[in-house]
Amino acid sequence: MKIGFIGLGNMGGPMAANLAKAGHEVTGFDTADVEIEGVAKAGSATEVASGAQVVITMLPNGAILRAVADEIIPAMEKGAVFLDCSTVDVESARVVAEQAQAAGLEPLDAPVSGGVTGAAAGTLTFMVGGSDMGFAAVKELFDVMGQKAVLCGPSGNGQAAKICNNMILGVTMIATCEAFALADKLGLDRQAMFDVVSTSSGYSWSMNAYCPAPGIGPKSPADNGYQPGFAAELMLKDLRLAQQAAEAADADTPMGQAARDLYAQFVENEDGSGRDFSAMLPRFETRSRG
């Protein structure tokens, strides 16, 4: 398949490389001068889009996505798939999808879960918004780049699924870190805490698969000085997107709002920037009530 790939950063670069390794003809463009093995370099986003059967974008935010869409949609061939894997606001995803549909393209919004390690390993999960036809057209690409792809409904629903999932993740990670800090102050051994909670009603992905306590449970960023697997600033981005969507939909999400505010404090006013989102645990360890 002839694929154009725009945005070859920490996530997009490995995704494009995996597509090239699988035998697809991949041409890429990034504003930074990057070399990706097996990926031909183009001089512009428009050059990438011209003649491609599928154009994949992995971009930082909705404003950049809209700007790139304005540039590439006129250069794309009718019937081509515009596959956006960025995590952006639902409104931007839907506006770009309408624009692409009007130009005779198949738009899909397909944000990912799995982080940089999942991008490199080809084990991402894709949450997809768009048509059955568009989804079927690129299913083989999802199979190369990830381990699971779920069609969540019409355009924008991929973004909706991503931000709802990550709102749960942000809230449960904070609760897990709070509980470990409380356990410490109550004299409860962390291993005993894990052994109970991981097999009881407190079970969660944050506890069982990504434990924020070093040396407890499966290996996680806590065992590597909280070097980011999923950076706290990216969690903050997703929690802000969730609250933006909640405000637009008039949804009451007090826990999501509290999580956003705590991560904003952690990233912007404390030492959270550049650390894993599970580094909330050492934050709570040093704090007293009030």
Query: Is 148 marked active-site?
Result: no
Q: Alpha-carbon distance 165 to 169, whole Å?
A: 6
> For residues 246 and 157, is the Cβ–Cβ distance under 8 A?
no
Sorted by sequence, the CB contacts under 8 Å of residue 76 that are 6+ apart come out as: 49, 50, 52, 55, 82, 103, 105
Closest CA to 39 of 61, 59, 16, 56: 16
Q: Alpha-carbon distance 124 to 19, whole Å?
A: 13
Q: Alpha-carbon distance 154 to 135, whole Å?
A: 11
Which tokens is 4 given? 């154009």
Which tokens is 204 given? 């969660």
User: What Å distances lie between residue 162 and 32, 68, 169, 280, CA to CA?
Assistant: 27, 22, 10, 21
Q: Alpha-carbon distance 4 to 60, whole Å?
A: 18
Helix (H, G, I), strand (E, B), or coil: what is residue 186?
coil
Active-site residue among 148, 162, 219, 237?
162
Place of tokens 């952690």: 266
**Catalytic residue IDs:** 162
